[in-house]
């Protein structure tokens, strides 16, 4: 019964009853506690129950509360006997029954929602709020009392970091590990080994500040990992379909990149060349403008060849203009207006000259273009002529030969004929031979082609398979990772849960109880079988007794007719039989009486359990109180009446 009590008390605590920690069983419950917790349960089950939270002091009010409580519980579907006395004059077993019923009726959905696995964000929120609450609860401690901000406190105490004083930057430095040590079968060279064992500093000594060690290592590993992942990704998407081995693929890619780099560099160089020339062209333009506007303009330009030639052309003009401008400067007798006029004239002159020059240049350019075009034409013509010439020479040679053969025409004709015949013959034989060779070769070629295509398709299939496997592998890995995460989360949840509900203990206990019950059932069955066999034996014996008695009775009766002494024996037998019958009867009677006694004892025990005496005392005192209340009421009533 203790288990049941524990569960009941735990559930009552969960719904918010204030129970002392030293209350371990229902026997320790006082009347007030019973009533208040029953009311609490009812309120959780049905929010509209209108009852005071604790037992009132007035006797009649108590009585009313008890009856209404009982009626509400009966309405909920309680099958046992219940009334005000169940609560006010409590009996442990009845109370237990009532509470078990009430707790069974408690709403369950709330509990179910709690059991669902929470999301990661909810967990995060919870941990945040927990740690914030912990900080709020703990008093402030000056920083110099903590070493590196680490403290040991809380309830239960844990190591924790407070504040950000000793936080250090996540700063990584390059660091060096020994590589290839995992594979023992691969030999590493002597020099490398000696380097690793003697000269390579420990990873903790490689950074200047100790707090950089962890970031450095993590950074290194992370970069390695990401590189590996990227490579895997690329290999899956591009590498595999290209059907090259890994090294080949890498080599090819490297080649391609190098080529691309080379091309890029070359085009950049060219472009930069273009750029400088265009820049200089712009400079040129500026220079021309300057010359048009200002009297003296000698812009310095970075030189490409083009510019130099341009400068050569323009340079002379410049000098000319300069001299033209300087001339009027020499004779200074003229007035300002004249000077102005002259200048304008000069400018006009220069402009016209400039325009002339420009048009001339254009013309020249056109001409040069024409000339180059005609040159090309000529070249073409020449090449065609050369071709013709060659052809003609060829034909001339053939003709000359035939002419040489002409004098001895017939002989030569026959000779040629024979030559032609023999060559034709040879051609035919060769063709035959070729045919002979060709047929098997073609056959072979076809076979090989078939084989190749088959192989190709097989390879394609295999490739597809590999791809499928790879994707599957990835999926499975992802799945496993997810499951692991879920497991972690669930474990965390479980750890939190076990603190308040030791479910497993309960289930274990239940299993034990069930097995106990089974054992007891077996024992009962055994006993039943035993009693049945005993009954059978009894029946058999009594039958035997009857039969032996009748047989002896008959025998003695027959003899009794002849002998007097036997008559006496017969009488004795009858008496004996009767006596024994009586004896058996008494034995059975004692049995029944014993059983009755046991039953009565049980009853006594049961009655004594229900605290009759104390309850009686309570009832009498309550009755007295009630009487008193009644009398006071009556006096009040009378007073009012009078």
> CA nearest 56: which of 32, 79, 76?
32
* CB nearer to other proteins: pick between 194 and 242: 194
> CA nearest 179: which of 192, 169, 190?
192
CB of 167 to other proteins, least distance (A): 10
CB of 393 to other proteins, least distance (A): 57
CB of 493 to other proteins, least distance (A): 21
CB of 259 to other proteins, least distance (A): 12
What string of DSSP letters covers 545-588?
HHHHHHHHHHHHHHHHHH-HHHHHHHHHHHHHHHHHHHHHHHHH
* CB nearer to other proteins: pick between 257 and 466: 257
Structure tokens at 83: 């009334």
Spatial separation of the C-alpha atoms in residues 321 and 345, rounded to whole Å: 12
Which residue reads 């003695």 in tokens?
556
Omega within 30 of 0 (cis) for the link into 614: no
Q: Let me know: does 95 contact 26? Beta carbons within 8 Å.
A: yes
DSSP state of 211: G
CB of 126 to other proteins, least distance (A): 13
CB of 249 to other proteins, least distance (A): 9
* CB nearer to other proteins: pick between 257 and 477: 257
How many residues does this entry show for the chain?
A: 642
Q: Give Rg (Cα) of the chain.
A: 62
Q: Phi then psi for 151, rounded to 5 degrees?
A: -125, 165
* CB nearer to other proteins: pick between 171 and 544: 171
CB of 486 to other proteins, least distance (A): 23
Spatial separation of the C-alpha atoms in residues 158 and 443, rounded to whole Å: 84
* CB nearer to other proteins: pick between 191 and 495: 191
Spatial separation of the C-alpha atoms in residues 384 and 378, rounded to whole Å: 10
Structure tokens at 212: 């950089």
Give the binding site for other proteins (CB under 8 A): 124, 128, 169-176, 191-192, 194-195, 198-200, 206, 208, 219, 230, 234, 250-251, 253-254, 257
* CB nearer to other proteins: pick between 223 and 387: 223
* CB nearer to other proteins: pick between 110 and 262: 262
Spatial separation of the C-alpha atoms in residues 544 and 563, rounded to whole Å: 27
Q: Let me know: does 306 contact 280? Beta carbons within 8 Å.
A: yes
CB of 350 to other proteins, least distance (A): 49
* CB nearer to other proteins: pick between 171 and 415: 171
Spatial separation of the C-alpha atoms in residues 513 and 519, rounded to whole Å: 10
Spatial separation of the C-alpha atoms in residues 288 and 315, rounded to whole Å: 11
CB of 112 to other proteins, least distance (A): 27
* CB nearer to other proteins: pick between 15 and 192: 192
Q: Phi then psi for 197, rounded to 5 degrees?
A: -80, -25
């Amino acid at each position: 019964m203790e288990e049941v009590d524990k569960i009941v008390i735990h559930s009552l605590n969960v719904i918010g009853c204030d129970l002392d920690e030293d209350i371990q069983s229902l026997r320790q419950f006082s009347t007030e506690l019973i009533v208040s917790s029953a009311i609490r349960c009812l309120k959780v089950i049905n929010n509209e129950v209108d009852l005071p939270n604790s037992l009132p002091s007035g006797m009649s009010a108590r009585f009313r509360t008890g009856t209404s409580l009982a009626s509400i519980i009966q309405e909920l579907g309680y099958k046992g006997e219940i009334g005000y006395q169940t609560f006010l004059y409590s009996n442990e077993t009845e109370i237990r029954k009532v509470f078990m019923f009430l707790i069974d009726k408690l709403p369950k959905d709330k509990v179910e929602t709690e059991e669902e696995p929470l999301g990661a964000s909810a967990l995060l929120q919870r941990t945040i709020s927990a740690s914030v609450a912990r900080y709020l609860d703990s008093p402030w401690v000056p920083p110099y009392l903590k070493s590196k901000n680490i403290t040991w406190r809380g309830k239960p105490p844990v190591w924790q970091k407070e504040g950000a004083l000793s936080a250090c930057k996540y700063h990584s430095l390059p660091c060096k590990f020994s590589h290839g040590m995992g594979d023992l079968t691969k030999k590493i060279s002597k020099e490398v080994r000696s380097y690793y064992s003697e000269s390579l500093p420990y990873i903790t000594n490689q950074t200047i500040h100790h707090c950089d060690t962890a970031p450095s290592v993590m950074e290194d590993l992370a970069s390695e990992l990401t590189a590996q992942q990227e490579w895997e990704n690329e290999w899956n998407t591009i590498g595999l379909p290209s059907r090259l081995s890994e090294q080949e693929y890498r080599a090819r890619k490297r080649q391609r990149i190098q080529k691309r780099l080379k091309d890029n560099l070359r085009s950049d160089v060219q472009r930069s060349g273009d750029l400088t020339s265009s820049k200089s062209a712009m400079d040129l333009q500026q220079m021309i403008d300057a010359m048009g506007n200002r009297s003296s303009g000698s812009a310095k330009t970075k030189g490409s060849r083009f510019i130099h030639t341009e400068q050569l052309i323009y340079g002379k003009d410049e000098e000319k203009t300069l001299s033209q401008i300087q001339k009027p400067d020499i004779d200074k007798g003229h007035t300002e207006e004249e000077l102005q006029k002259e200048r304008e004239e000069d400018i006009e002159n220069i402009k016209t000259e400039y325009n002339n020059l420009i048009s001339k240049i254009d013309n020249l350019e056109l001409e040069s273009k024409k000339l180059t075009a005609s040159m090309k034409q000529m070249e073409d013509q020449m090449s065609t002529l050369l071709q013709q010439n060659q052809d003609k020479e060829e034909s001339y040679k053939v003709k000359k030969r035939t002419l040489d053969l002409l004098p001895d025409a017939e002989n030569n004709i026959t000779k040629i004929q024979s030559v032609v015949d023999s060559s034709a013959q040879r051609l035919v034989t060769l063709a035959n031979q070729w045919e002979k060779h060709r047929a098997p070769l073609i056959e072979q070629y076809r076979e090989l082609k078939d084989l190749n295509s088959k192989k190709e398709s097989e390879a394609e299939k295999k490739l597809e398979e590999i791809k499928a496997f790879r994707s599957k592998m990835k999926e499975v890995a992802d799945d496993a990772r997810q499951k692991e995460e879920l497991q972690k989360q669930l474990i965390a949840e479980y750890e939190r849960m076990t603190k308040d509900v030791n479910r497993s203990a309960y289930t274990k206990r239940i299993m034990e109880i069930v097995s106990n019950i089974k054992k007891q059932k077996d024992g009962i069955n055994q006993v039943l079988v035993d009693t049945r066999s005993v009954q059978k034996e009894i029946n058999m014996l009594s039958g035997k007794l009857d039969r032996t008695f009748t047989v002896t009775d008959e025998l003695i009766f027959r003899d009794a007719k002849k002998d007097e002494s036997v008559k006496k024996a017969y009488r004795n037998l009858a008496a004996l039989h009767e006596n024994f019958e009586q004896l058996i009867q008494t034995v059975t009677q004692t049995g029944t009486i014993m059983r009755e006694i046991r039953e009565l004892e049980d009853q006594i025990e049961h009655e004594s359990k229900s605290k009759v005496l104390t309850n009686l005392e309570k009832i009498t005192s309550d009755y007295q109180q009630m009487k008193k209340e009644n009398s006071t009421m009556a006096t009040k009533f009378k007073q009012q009446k009078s």
